[in-house]
């Protein structure tokens, strides 16, 4: 799943400091009466960008918003959401469910439903998931895809014996990496090359033909920036990791269905391909995330 190779332990003091340091924005221009909606994000650029998109969409409809972006990992923002320091966070259905001791599957609807049940007692609502997913994906170069006729992960099976696969060092022991590729797809590569977690080492090795297939995150901007081909996980090895806004029930109760509709409309327009392009603009082209968010909302008639 999306964060299967990352873990961090954060103290309670850091939670408080991060929330204070990250606070920005106000509801001074709001036209809807009600509580200010405090929107947080994890400390990586995609999640902060998604939070900015949801924030601007709400502001465009007159809701009072305060931003607390890049505050840290799930160990920080999950308790902050549950105790009311945050009101809304963009999440990923599978990883969020795992953090609540649930078991995600590749079925988005079932995973979202399980997440909603798991968070209900904490007063957290799980809204409609976006089509966009940020999860583990198998990527090849365009020339490799063309030569071997690759569009799905299943297509790799007859060719894997002559290919080198690269990814995180932990990959051979992970059920969603090499173990799953063998058990679910019958794929056994000629060699595994330990590299990094979807980072520069993996990208460089793939570009230079040191490896012919790699594990990257499905919405990584490098995929569109470098013209790589993301293979379809046609047998559903990876758990669903759809982007989904999670929001405190008190905020939903305060504003009603109109608020929910604004957020769901944004989610409905977010695709994996579109998110990859947004990540490319911010992470590789160096564009301002606020401007990228505004452009995207305008393009989809959500501003």
Mean pLDDT by 10 residues, the chain (303 residues): 42 48 58 93 96 98 97 94 97 96 96 98 98 96 98 98 96 94 97 94 97 96 94 96 98 97 98 95 94 98 95
Give the model confidence (pLDDT) of 182-218 as tens digits: 999 999 999 999 999 889 999 999 999 999 999 999 9
Pairing mode, if any, of strands 243-248 and 191-194?
Answer: unpaired
What pLDDT, on the 0 to 100 scale, is given for residue 31? 83
Q: How would you classify residue 188: left for phi > 0, otherwise alpha for psi between -120 and 50, otherwise beta?
A: beta
- Backbone phi, psi, residue 127, to 5°: -85, -165
* HSE, side-chain direction, 13 A CA sphere, residue 214: 31
What pLDDT, on the 0 to 100 scale, is given for residue 26? 54
* HSE, side-chain direction, 13 A CA sphere, residue 93: 30
Going along the chain from its start, the domains and CATH numbers come out as 12-133+240-299 (3.40.190.10), 136-230 (3.40.190.120)
28: exposed, middle or buried (Cβ count in 10 Å: 0-12, 13-18, 19+):
exposed
Nearest-angstrom CA–CA distance, 138 and 145: 12
What pLDDT, on the 0 to 100 scale, is given for residue 32? 81
Give the model confidence (pLDDT) of 45-74 as tens digits: 999 999 999 999 999 999 999 999 999 999
User: What's the first-to-final CA gap in the chain, in angstroms?
Assistant: 32
Q: If you search the block for the tokens 């293979």, which residue do you land on?
A: 231
């Amino acid at each position: 799943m999306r964060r299967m190779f990352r873990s961090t332990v954060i103290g309670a003091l850091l939670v408080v400091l991060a929330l204070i340091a990250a606070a920005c924005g106000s509801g001074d221009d709001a036209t809807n009466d009600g509580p200010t909606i405090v929107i947080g994000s994890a400390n990586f650029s995609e999640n902060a960008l998604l939070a900015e998109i949801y924030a601007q969409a709400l502001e465009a409809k007159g809701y009072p918003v305060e931003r607390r972006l890049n505050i840290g990992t799930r160990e920080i923002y999950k308790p902050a959401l549950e105790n009311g320091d945050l009101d809304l966070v963009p999440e990923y259905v599978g990883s969020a469910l795992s953090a609540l001791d649930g078991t995600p599957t590749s079925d988005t609807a079932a995973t979202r439903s399980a997440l909603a049940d798991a968070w209900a007692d904490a007063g957290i609502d799980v809204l409609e998931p976006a089509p966009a997913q940020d999860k583990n994906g198998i990527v090849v170069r365009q020339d490799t895809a063309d030569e071997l006729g690759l569009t799905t992960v299943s297509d790799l099976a007859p060719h894997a014996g002559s290919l080198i696969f690269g990814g995180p060092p932990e990959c051979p022991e992970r059920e969603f990496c090499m173990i799953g590729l063998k058990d679910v797809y019958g794929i056994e590569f000629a060699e595994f090359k330990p590299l990094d977690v979807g980072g520069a080492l993996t990208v460089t090795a793939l570009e230079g033909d040191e490896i012919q297939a790699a594990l990257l995150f499905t919405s990584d901007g490098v995929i569109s920036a470098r013209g790589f081909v993301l293979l379809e996980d046609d047998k559903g090895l990876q758990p669903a990791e759809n982007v989904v806004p999670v929001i405190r029930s008190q905020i939903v109760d305060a504003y009603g269905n109109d608020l929910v509709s604004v957020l769901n409309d944004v989610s409905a327009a977010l695709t994996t391909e579109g998110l990859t392009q947004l990540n490319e603009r911010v992470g590789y082209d160096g564009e301002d995330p606020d401007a990228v968010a505004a452009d995207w909302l305008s393009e989809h008639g959500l501003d």
